[in-house]
Amino acid sequence: MLQSRTPEIGESASRIFYGWILLAVFWFILVANLAFPMTGGSLLNTAMARDLGFTREQMGLPFSVYFGVIGLSSPLVATMIGRIGIRWTLTLGNALLTLGSLAMATIVASPMAAMLCFGLVIGFAVASGGNLTAQTAIPRWFVRRRALAYAIMLTASAAGGIFIAPVLTALIGEDSSGWRSGWWVVAGFGAVATLLAATLVREAPEDVGQYADGDTAPADVADRLAVASAAALTLRQILTRSDFWTIVLASAVITGGLSLVLAHGAANALDKGHSQAAVGTGLALYALTGVLAKALVGWLGDRMNPATLWAALLVPSAMGLLVAAFAVQGPGLILYSALVGIGLGGAIVCQPATLANRFGAQGFAKAASIVFLLQAAAGVSTPTLAGWAFDPVNGYKWSFIVAALACGLAIAALLMFCRRLKS
């Protein structure tokens, strides 16, 4: 980690704000570390299950372990960030992504091996080398433009999915036999992300002689930095706040919804008669509408309460899940992909923006790691339960209905307990 220093007044005016460079680095890292394992994993694992003859429960198990590891390891990742810093936590995580992807491409041939390599190794790689670590950095670099920065960074998973879906679909083929080739692509992106993290990531603006938001003098940002540097809350204080538990509930809802869509959404569409190419197109549309939703949240998130936006975006999420339950046949696949992309894609940005707004830069990693830990229950259970509940007559119908009802519960909680905007 670079030793921080106090920048001279006007010093940062002579060069570009490094936060924007860092944001571009984070964006690419999340394409490799989040978009490929999630969007790519949905396609590749479904193809793997069909090629190797897995049951529906076995197909859902790797994603259950994946989401569980991400959540359960979050406190460990928060400790790593505190001990070795953002830079080396990201580097380690993306090195593990590369190794796990190579294992998927070469040695995985059973449900247990898929669970270990995708669920355990790649799950921890994503936990440490992606979202939580990069999100922790944003409040240090951005105060006035925080929601915008989160929105830009988190478009990576959606924008990446726009090209990931057709590329991997072409590699997989209609017979599902080319899924291993897709994991070689993931490994290559993981290697580049590892190099970028090790060489370009910095911990805070002071490390490069700058101030948050690229301002040129401490007087310009004193008030906002005071907010961002507010004293960290204790664990007891966090756990006694109703808005914290509301965020946990809403986070569990979007995690459960995403895990259902990613683990079984492709299979649900294939069961209804869609081709592999059509499913890939649907995933690309899901990614594209997610980019548009994140852009909207980035523009509105610094102007209004992000928790209110979160509640609003859960409405199309619920609608899309209901379409998956009742009408995904034919053109319903397009409607489902667009609604889920807008709803869940935009809600992903609202989560860190709401956490940063209510717990500050110093409290973010602690609060977020606990949220990630507790939301893991939904990520672990949903794919496995959906596979268990699947039947040849109704398919995944009831799983999608329950996920939609959960969205309604989260909407009510957000509007009740998080409607007042924190400074």
The burial class, CB within 10 Å (0-12 / 13-18 / 19+), for 381 is middle
The topology under which CATH files domain 11-417 is: Growth Hormone; Chain: A; (1.20.1250)
- Classify 360 in phi/psi space as left (phi over 0), alpha (psi -120 to 50) or beta: left
Locate 178 and state its tokens.
Answer: 């080319």
Question: Hey, what are 85's tokens?
Answer: 């810093």
Q: What does the alpha-carbon distance between residue 308 and residue 305 come to, in Å, rounded to a whole number?
A: 5
- Burial letters 297-309, b for 16+ CB under 10 A, else e: bbebbbeebbbbb
Q: Is 237 helix (H, G, I), strand (E, B) or coil?
A: helix
3-state secondary structure 103-129: HHHHCCCCHHHHHHHHHHHHHHHHHHH
Domain boundaries of the chain, sorted by first residue? 11-417
Element (H, E) at 211: none
User: How many Å apart are CA 181 and CA 106, to the nearest integer?
Assistant: 9
Nearest-angstrom CA–CA distance, 402 and 365: 31
User: What would the two tokens of residue 176 be?
Assistant: 């599902």
Instruction: Give me 183's structure tokens.
Output: 């994991």
Per-residue pLDDT of the chain (423 residues; tens, 9 = 90+): 444 444 544 444 457 899 999 999 999 999 999 889 888 888 899 999 999 999 888 988 898 899 889 888 988 998 999 899 999 999 999 999 999 999 999 999 999 999 999 999 999 999 999 988 998 999 889 888 888 898 899 888 778 878 888 899 899 988 888 899 999 999 999 999 999 999 999 999 999 888 888 876 654 444 444 444 445 678 788 889 999 999 999 999 999 998 899 889 989 999 989 988 898 889 889 888 988 898 888 788 778 899 999 999 999 999 999 999 998 888 999 999 999 999 998 898 899 889 988 887 677 878 888 898 888 888 888 988 998 999 989 999 999 999 999 999 999 999 999 987 664
* pTM (2 d.p.): 0.72
